[in-house]
Amino acid sequence: MTFLIALLQEVDIDQKLKEAPDGSYGIGVFIGTLLPFIVLVLIAYLIYRYNKNKLNKD
């Protein structure tokens, strides 16, 4: 099921950049591709910090 969803959501970034109205669209695509990664790293760091502090209090 997840494989089917992944296939349907696959985005061709090169095609989007070719059809872009202007150059600033490329910056938005770049930020949009990095943003999920940055959010996941931030969540992982916050969980790590929470567990580290919890361990030190015990």
Q: Render pLDDT for 13-25 as a digit per residue (tens, 0 to 9).
A: 777 777 777 777 8
pTM: 0.58
Residue 3 CA to residue 36 CA, distance in Å, equals 19
What's residue 45's pLDDT?
98
Residues of the chain with pLDDT under 70: 1-11, 58
Sign of the four-CA dihedral 15, 10, 45, 50 = positive
Residue 43 CA to residue 45 CA, distance in Å, equals 5
What's residue 7's pLDDT?
58
Question: Which residues have a Cβ under 8 Å from the Cβ of 17 and sit 6 or more positions away?
Answer: 25, 26, 29
What's residue 10's pLDDT?
64
Residue 19, H or E segment: none
Q: Are 32 and 44 in contact (CB under 8 A)?
A: no
What's residue 9's pLDDT?
64
